Amino acid sequence: MNDNKKHIKWFRDSSPYINAHRNKTFVLYLGGNALESANLPNIIADIALLNSLGVRLVLVHGAAPQIDQQLENRSKSTETQNHRRITPPELMKEITQIVGGVRANIEARLSMGLVNSPMHGSGITAVSGNFVKAKPVGIVDGIDFQNTGITRRVDARGICQQLDNGAIVLISPLGYSPSGETFNLDSTSLAVDVATSLNAGKLIYFSGEPGFRDGAGEICSELHADATSPAGMRPADEYLFSLTSQACNQGVDRCHIVSYVKDGALLEELFTRDGSGTQITRVSYEQIRRAEPEDVPGIIHLIEPLEQEGILVKRSRELIESEIEQFTVIERDGLIVCCGALYPFATKGELACVVTHPDYRDGDRGESLLSSIEAQAKLQGLTSLFVLTTQSAHWFVEHGFVGGNVSALPNSRKSFYNYQRNSKFFEKPL
């Protein structure tokens, strides 16, 4: 397949995601380090693309490294405790100016529209304002955080009005009190407050890493919000994982960690099934479950190529619909990637129609599906599973099946045996 055809296929495959994301509210977090990245122009272009596709975007930004640098240039510094900067009142004017400069830079980048650039014709309106009401952190464990604040309330209605008008809303790490005071906020936790207040569909953090890593250094493609953090996770990632878990448990559908270094990481995460970073969710986006009538088209799409090759016995739509309760599927983000059926015969069960999508044959999904069907068979009181196969004998042998004679088939199944296919018989005790 040439590059052009690959691009066409990818664009077509992205269509379900475009439809799913349209009119949804996404909160994006860009920390100060991301704003200094050489890849920032590409990130801004991808944000503009999301906006053009009808995604409602709220952009929460940080400014910690910019504040540190400016204060260092002026021979000043601040301390940090519990992931929050201790903000002396005398520094608030300078911090406000620095944050304002960062926000203005983002607004300028969102306003770009040079000919022959990805931003040409985007016509983005960026809106910022006093959307965050704050209160002081106060004294915690004997430490006075001074002008460091926490979110009291997010003006969700005001933000939604701007989103309804097609604008991208910018949220700076500053909050305001009814008395007119300004507070310095932790931007990473502010993103959670904004996302939960808006009941956002997604909260997306841009990170220097491509995602959360486990103790072996491997990227975790998915984590559950109620799970413990992987062993060996960095302290900074543990804090971020706790925030994303909190967001999911407070109503955000999914949180994502994507790289601000890798070009296109945001698009890859949102418009491909395998994504690019780490997804945190309350419910697994890949699950094994009993099939439902709505799964019939997905099962047909999965097994049809093997039926055409003669590997599987052809099943009509009507037959699959009538036998759908016998099927178990693995669904990955709306796609049926694996299926199998269990047909009971007295004390034995026939395992049939075991198929894994060609793109997903490297993740032991067949083994997981087999384990699920075996558990179902035991609950039904079956003592063994048997299978008839022409080309997959080695796989079943690897998973505990032993070859035998077709004479061992249950009597009610023998009458349906197709001698022309000459399928081999394998059986596994339960």
pLDDT at residue 6 in the model: 77
Residue 239: how many other CB atoms lie within 10 Å:
17
User: Would you call 88 exposed, middle or buried from its count of C-beta atoms within 10 A (0-12, 13-18, 19+)?
Assistant: middle
Query: In whole angstroms, how far apart are CA 83 and each of 79, 246, 312, 338?
Result: 10, 16, 58, 43
Taking the complete model, does pTM exceed 0.85, yes or no?
A: no
Q: Contact at 8 Å (CB) between 211 and 163?
A: no
Give me the pLDDT at residue 42, please. Answer: 93
DSSP state of 295: G
For helices 92-110 and 40-52, give the axis angle rounded to 10 degrees: 60
pLDDT per residue as tens digits for the range 21-64: 999 999 999 999 999 999 999 999 999 999 999 999 999 999 99
Close Cβ partners of 213 (under 8 Å, ≥ 6 residues apart): 219, 220, 230, 232, 233, 234, 237
Which residues does the chain have with pLDDT short of 50? Answer: none
Q: Rounded to 5 degrees, what are φ and ψ at 349? A: -125, 135
Q: Which residue has the tokens 């977090």?
A: 29
User: Could you give all domains of the chain from N- to C-terminal order, each with its CATH number?
Assistant: 3-284 (3.40.1160.10), 287-429 (3.40.630.30)
Closest CA to 241 of 271, 213, 283, 276: 213
**pLDDT at residue 296, as a whole number:** 95
Give the pLDDT score at 118.
Answer: 65
State which amino acid sits at residue 128: S
Q: Give the pLDDT confidence score for residue 206 in this predicted structure.
A: 97
The whole-number pLDDT of residue 4 equals 74
* CA distance between the termini of the chain: 45
Which of 285, 216, 286, 207 is CA-nearest to residue 244? 207
Q: Is 295:355 a contact under the CB 8 Å cutoff? A: no
Tell me how far apart the alpha carbons of residues 32 and 160 are, in angstroms, rounded to a whole number.
25
